[in-house]
Structure 1
């Protein structure tokens, strides 16, 4: 990096973020944890022993980079009631990554110390491949206890299965690993007490899927009879996660807790794994948390899994079918019988009617998988009737009286005969519909079977040994080629499947095939459905969203203008699609330079989503994050920060730290920090987002590459150019190969790379990059768009650096005018472009114009840039230099000294920006001495 260039501080604000694609589908209930050491937020956001890579917290972490014993802390994974869990690197005696759980400072009550030590002691008892292992215990230099655990870079069990669309049999195989781990814990005298999907992580160890049970933070010892040790638990205070809590656990009586408590929790996990729903709705659990939760769990009706799936099928969801790897009737048939009985036996309210151990539970599931008779069986009708009467004596008596009256009233009538005839007619109609649906189902199943069988070595020609190398995206591409043949006589069904395939290919980054598939899906939908059909609107919206992803903003704007009135009419589209469409409409306005319209649309969307879905639904959170992003781009920091922090906490609580939605909101939170000049905070958040994205999507996925590009840009902004350039040079070719050279995201990455090249003094390369980018943006976006104007301004800087001040002044004056028209004259980036233009006028000798311009600009900058932002210091320095050149030494020196003090405070005396300002100050002082002042 060239540290002596005098204008290093004069760069415009080049925080050019490419398009984020954060979608917020409704997934699962919130799972608040109860108990003395727990907080009121979702425990899936709390640290787990050896948990997956957690998103960075909102507040800066002081321990990052510090050493505790043989461990160097790399990142914070999460925080809980007793302490925090960090990702750490162990240097000796072996080199490896660990999860380091550290007791929170000040948490030194005897009860908490006992709990912390207890968790370490319980983990030390166990040694099983399906339980995260404890590796070391110790104390930090300030006396805080810690223990190091195996780091599990995994994904929660249900989320892992849903993302991959894993079938029922393989879900059960993974669940049996959980049973083996928990059974081992029980044999070692440990009850977990908080078993739930977020504490069951699936990791890929060299091609082998392994489930790890984590987070024994509220576990208890058991005696030889399998009963829980009361210990320090307060009687009447339930500890655990309500949605997965047994009735006896909810009652808060420690003496009633035994291994069958974990059996019940595993029953809830199995129900969720098989249906993607909870046996008792989350809303009922939520309402009962501060009431009588134990009574709800004892008396609520639990529907059999197969019946639950049948009910879900009355309002079908393509996301559900993709996640579960099948259709509703097929899944209901798989669950009916054995799996219904096994699940309901594990969920029995009375402990004595459950499986006696987790081992028995697992053995019955194994019998089902091998085709043997299972031990579980449905409760007898007499038993169910007795329990119902016991719970509802008054209602049963009243119902019996009403029933008797009805029976007497209908004797001798012919109503039954008339109704039977009507039912027969309805049945004949239903049969015709069923036949049609049956044909569609068979066609869909054949298509799905062929797609799944794509990597089957028996079906491959030439080189069957390559079957294991076929990726999901390859199977999808082959499936696209078979759409016409598979659904030749049903364009409506072909359109539905095409929309699903096209959307998936788009999200996997295969834009060319996604476009071909969606264009055909739209054509089919227009043939098969009326203009006001939801299925036709869905196909057309998916194609419009793809155009947004490809940077075709003008075409996309025209499409949205045509489609949004139909969406506003309430045609019943999936909530996720509606939220993404409304967010994309905002992004289009912003990309086309109309930031005020973008803010207005974003605000309207938040009001609309809040009215429809409450104050904390997934779509509401997405709209809140979108509005925060737009406000941040306008420099309205206070409201933007409040909104983005609220959105981040909401998605973190709802989904857990590794979910793509959380990664997306964390990235937006980092965007805002970068725009405010908080580069250390922004870099940490971007880096955490990039690492999580790499874990979830893979190293070369577009989302992962975008996050790493953000890291590189923030390194540049913080003056760490030598680290930024190699990262840009790794990311840009990979993204260009998948998206194409004209993609706006690629051009943004290249623009930021050019800035880093300029900062490193590689001016010829920087000018070559920017000239090409400008021509591409002008051709694709037009000359008046903000990104085009911004590129022109950056190119002017490099031209000036190379000595052509006159050409640079012309370029920059055009950029200031165009950018001011697009985003307003008080936009932070317009202000910085104007500052650079005035510095050009100053260096060309037009001091009167420059000084008058700075006199107007500085108050606007103080009003619209955050207090302490280094760009404000840069403007002060530039103004001071102009005043000094005009002989107004006192005023000029005061401004430059004020600027220098602020830059040294933020970046240190050796930072190139500080050095550049110090050189300006020395030059002014020399001029003053020559002038005799």
Structure 2
């Protein structure tokens, strides 16, 4: 006898057959369907359609061919309807797949549940298959931070339903704000979510839609993972992945790049989503400016743009918004910067890497690094990519000035640095009497400051930081200093704080310097210098609109006072850095082209390391703009300057060759890439030592190149050398160590 479409028994049988067949491979599935008894023959066409829809779950609402005679969606159940042991109390939510009702047990009013009902009969959509899959997935999960499956059944219309633990709470970000959790507590809250997601992964379930709305926190502060409606079962075989299509069923703002372009879905997909949730917990914002953008623009931003710095995301918005974020996190700007800088930033860079293979391989590894960070132990990652470790040394920060200044200031103290600053001002003062007077006043001030380090004084053992703090206090007390002199001293102090990386202290010093400079009237080169130093600090803090405004003001002034001079080039260069940080690469690149043209006309251009830095930054932008030939020419020019300045064996040249080799690899020129890397290895081994981490990085790259060309002997030599250095310099379990071991294992597996 043929069963009616709304026969509950028919749905029970169809549901059971779907769950048995859905994870079978093609041949095994066909055999399963052929072996079904005659009593199930009428179900096979519909079962095939459900399985086809599940296989094609590239589209949230994608259609397939289905049997005729399907019926329209049913209205939601009325309040008071009884499903199994549960009485429905009202609707909690409604979506494309179904309706979620609040419910309580008929025999126990205190026991509450969320009952999910399939709203639509099987009509060729994915909802039926996903509904059954979610029920099946929940049945296999048991973790205190995952909403539990309580019951399941078929209603009077033949529609499936299931009851799960009801969570009365807020999304994880709103809950953290309401409870004013501090930054450490927010990381620990996410760690509990990580434990739940790792539990699912160990059962071959990847969630695919982790976001605050699916992470609710109950009244006791326990986070719960909800909504496995678009989750996917991975193959039990290690390393297997499932491929999505586009558009996949997920929330775009929390999607990983591979979800947007139809790539493979692995545990790293959920790692990316957890990284985004942590980013939001910490900053109150998202790493990309997505508000008001169309879906294609959002996809382009997520897939192609670098995430905003945590500091920048926190500072995005008006003053009231930023103040509320700080209040909700029980912190202040300085404390926030100190907490998120360094290791935590590197952890998030790894979790949010565009390519899945560059992320943490497991949620457990991500969580382990967060635990290490909270405990103050070394973390396993050193940044987003190899480019993070190598290019950050020269990226958008002129190494000749900033890096040398930092070493100078930290190695021998503020006193000597400040004296050199005074001497520089004194040399300029030979040209103008007013400048001579200013230089003398500053020199006298520095003399007073240095006198406090007199070895006969009991408190003479001052650190550089203490000297800076005393200088900041003394500048207000010394009546011999005029407004312009105070501004110059504060600019010097702020500049040292900046190169030391103490941006919260650099900011007020430089803001005061700029304010005093305005009060002094008749803006001059010293005022332009204050503006540029302040722009640099705003840039480091992610306050890019402020950074751009100060840089543009300085450039406008320099175009009147020093057009065509080195100072003018420095202003343009800083403005280009700010634009680059905002991903306004065409504008930034045009400015850098002006800078290199200008600096190339100045005396000593052939050995100007600032010009080399500008060429380097230009090359980085050109690579991102898809102009590889011009990028290579810029790298060549930078390298030529550095070799004339420092000789052919300087480590700067090794770093640049490493970057240029990456460009050669991208262009498919393996021979030239190998030449650059081998030369970089020789220079670095001699200048930095054979056990330096940069040597390990280059050796690893050379080993992988050798694998590609089939030279197993050379590959093994380089990879084993890299592994020895990594094991000596990196914490156990570091991702680089694991990757190098995998490469060596691949050699052992080769015939």
TM-score range, shorter chain: 0.3 to 0.5
Q: TM-score, normalised by structure 1?
A: 0.34
Q: TM-score, normalised by structure 2?
A: 0.42
